[in-house]
Amino acid sequence: MKTILFLLLTLVAFVSCTTKTSNSLTNQEELALRQAIKNDTLFASWVKDTSNAIKLYKQYKINVMKSDSTWESDQHRLYKIEDFGFTNKFELIPLVEHLYGNPEFKKGYGVSYLIRTDHSTILFDTGIDDDSLKCVLRYNLDILGIDISEINAIVISHNHGDHTNMWKWINDKTFVNLENENILSKMKIYVPEDNLDLKIATNFSYDPIKISEGVYTTGIIKAPMFFTFTQEQSIIFNVKDKGIIIVTGCGHQTVEKILQRCERISNIPIYGILGGLHFPIEGDSEKYMGYYITGKLPWIPFTLNDVNKKIELIKKRNIKLVGLSIHDSSGKTIEAFKKAFSNEYKELRTGAWIVVD
């Protein structure tokens, strides 16, 4: 009864807020937008004209309200996972890590990680490249001598091209084994949206779902950005005698919500976090990267001070393992993390194993 009442109150509050704010910008908001168009030629080229920019801003405000309302509702209704299970083994190797790795590996963009546990081998995301025959992750698997047939499950964090390879791996030869058989039908494929129409069997769950013993997704967390709206999931692993290791794709959900979600669904302490968190410092990364920060407007710079605040959030959890993907964070961010987590930090490099034992 309490849950139903909470959801009704949340809906009423959301409808009220949307009605009040969806049709207009404040004078201060419109002034800031116009100033951004004037000062930032790249931003101006993306929004096309002031009228379209105003429409984008209005929609962004609506999306923020929707995602905030959904987040509060989800966090309220989700329960602890009682029988989480565990794995003794946790081994992660980047197959794609944004041009960052040893020269024998084929270079690609975005991320793709292979993760081994006691019970499964999981492919998390697929990176992106221009090869029309095989995704770069397969080339690097072959260099490593890892049989593609070892993979039991594929988990896609979110529907961005540098994490899905535009889904080309469904039809190319990425998952063709030595017997020339496409083995995708033998794998469980977990996707972040339920309307993708990929012409193959997939699994979608808005809530956390079990992948294998000791392995769950975080469930979907919605992420509003000025130019787009996405929803993303991470994977969490319970490593025996260590705790939860979180593996992220882009981290568009925000590190705050990822940590809070893990703490909502499990009492197991967080031991590590590995992957993308999307911290592109202004002036130290391509400008457009700053347009894709959840909850931050394109004309408000993301700074080293912002990075340090995120670092403090992680430090408060006494986390023992940290590794940040460079595909969506800048070099200064990486250096700040290395300095802050000098003993805990592990580099994510293509072809280099991270083993927790």
Amino acid identity, position 8: L
- Token pair belonging to 296: 């931050």
Structural domains in the chain plus CATH codes: 2-77 (no CATH), 90-356 (3.60.15.10)
pTM for the full model?
0.93
Lowest mean pLDDT among 47-56, 129-138, 194-203, 206-215: 129-138
- Whether residue 9 is predicted with pLDDT greater than 60 in this model: the reply is no
Other C-beta atoms within 10 Å of 10: how many?
16
Confidence (pLDDT) at 54 = 97
pLDDT digits (tens, 9 = 90+) for 87-127: 999 999 999 997 667 788 998 899 999 999 999 999 999 99
Check whether 163 has a pLDDT greater than 60. yes
pLDDT tens-digit series, residues 188-239: 999 999 999 999 999 999 999 999 999 999 999 999 999 999 999 999 999 9
Alpha carbon distance 329, 323 (integer Å): 12
Q: Classify residue 278 as left (phi > 0), alpha (psi -120 to 50) or beta.
A: left
Q: What is the mean pLDDT of the chain?
A: 92
* Calpha distance 51→295 (Å, rounded): 22
Show the 3-state SS of the chain: CHHHHHHHHHHHHHHHHHHHHCCCCCHHHHHHHHHHHHHCHHHHHHHCCHHHHHHHHHHHHHHHHHHHHHHHHHHHHCCCCCCCCCECCEEEEEEEECCCECCCCCCCECEEEEEECCCCEEEECCCECCCCCCCHHHHHHHHHCCCHHHCCEEECCCCCHHHHHHHHHHCCCCCECCCCCECHHHCEEECCCCCCCCCCCCECCCCCCEEECCEEECCCEEEECCCCEEEECCEEEEECCCEEEEEECCCCCCHHHHHHHHHHHCCCCEEEEEECCCCCCCCCCCHHHHHHCCCCCCCCCCCHHHHHHHHHHHHCCCCCEEEECCCCCCHHHHHHHHHHCCCCECCCCECCCEEEC
Contact 2, 77 (CB under 8 A): no
State the pLDDT at residue 102.
Answer: 78
Whether the CB-CB separation of 14 and 21 falls below 8 Å is answered with no
Quote the tokens at residue 149: 């047939």
pLDDT tens digits along 268-285? 999 999 999 999 999 999
Token look-up 């967080």 returns: 270
| Dist CA 261 CA 268 (whole Å) | 12
pLDDT of residue 289: 95
- What is the pLDDT confidence band of residue 21, given thresholds at 50, 70 and 90? very low
Which are the contacts of 324, defined by CB distance < 8 A and separation ≥ 6? 275, 276, 277, 279, 333, 334, 337, 348
CB-side neighbour CA atoms (13 Å) of 81: 25
Amino acid occupying residue 164 = T
With the CA atoms of 327, 329, 330 and 335 taken in that order, what torsion angle do they form, in degrees rounded to the nearest 10?
-110
> Is it the case that residue 18 has pLDDT exceeding 80?
no
The pLDDT tens digits for 291-331 are 999 999 999 999 999 999 999 999 999 999 999 999 999 99
